[in-house]
Amino acid sequence: MGTERDGGAGGLAGRARAGLVREIAGTGVWDRDAGWRDAFEQVPRHLFVPYYFVGAPGGHERLWGEDPDPARRERWLRGAYADQPLATRLRDGELVSSSSQPSLMAKMLADLDVRDGHRVLEIGAGTGYNAALLAHRLGDAAVTTVDLDPEITESARAHLAAAGYRPAVVTRDGARGCVERAPYDRIMATCALRAVPVGWLAQCRPGARILAPVATGLLRLDVRDGGFAQGRFLRTPAYFVAVRGEGGLPGGGGVGSVGGVPRRVAGDEVFRFLLELTGGLGGAREVLALWEREGRPGRERFGVTVSGGREWVWLDDPRGPCVWDLPGGG
């Protein structure tokens, strides 16, 4: 278990964290597994975001815990425990790392369905906060977190140590996993992927689970063996910073134009999910025709199969008529 060091923040940090926990608990996400509530109660998020950026006229404003202005320090601390994502690293004005929205993290961890003794690989170290939650629940030795950027892994390692956690933090292209610490019972990506790297399957134990953001959805795959995995998207939308390296989204992700589609549809969040999931097929109008013909299906009706190095998407049934290759898969 980690040891909190509030660094003078003291009671306000504790009260702010308790408020965040109550807010997340109110969603019912921990009804099946109260163990995660304890992790969120004990792991101090503010130690993982010593500074972050918020939108401001003309750019971004930096809030940090060592600000000489007490009012700004309090604003930083309260923001650290707000149920919202926090931009933690910018490069040339572009977001390259963040701390995810806590309620989404709580849902993902619950859907990961861990058990005592499980070993977990996290793709995308970020601030280290999610790895700390995993380490609190499963123990340091059971958790490996990887990131391509050495600056990110260095800061994540420092944040984890400050909070009293020491999981393995590895600088690595996440698309390649971390074979030297395999096998894993669970793989969890906290960055947007084009597709699930097929090489991850060989690093999983039979019966393992992979949870990864793909095309603004959360894909939950159950692994049969090193050559086969299958599962569905959850209903929950998920927007993450794109992974860099071999599994990265070209041009920062997204599908670009949706020309020829009515504005009310082009702005529909689930339609845009399908547009990205299909790679546009023959164009936005063809995707719209599919969506309308099938009754405007939600995310949960779509699934993915990984087999023999190939990766394909299906609607309702992996053997049904609506099947296509996942863009970027294989």
- Mind telling me the catalytic residues? 97
Q: Which two tokens stand for residue 37?
A: 């509530």
In angstroms, what CA-CA distances link 70 with 28, 51, 79?
35, 15, 14
| Cis peptide bond upstream of 183, omega within 30 | yes
**Structure token digits, residue 235:** 């209903």
Among candidate residues 101, 185, 198, the one with its CA nearest the CA of residue 144:
185
Reduced 3-state DSSP string for 87-106: EEEEECCEEEEEECCHHHHH
Q: What is the DSSP letter of 294?
A: T
Query: Strand pairing partners for 223?
Result: 229
Q: At what angle do helices 102-112 and 35-42 cross, to 10 degrees?
A: 140
Rounded CA-CA distance 62/54 in Å is 7
Greatest Cα pair distance in the chain: 63
Spell out the residues 6+ positions from residue 28 whose beta carbon is closer than 8 angstroms to its own. none
In whole angstroms, what is the distance from residue 84 CA to residue 100 CA? 7
Structure token pair of residue 282: 């023959």
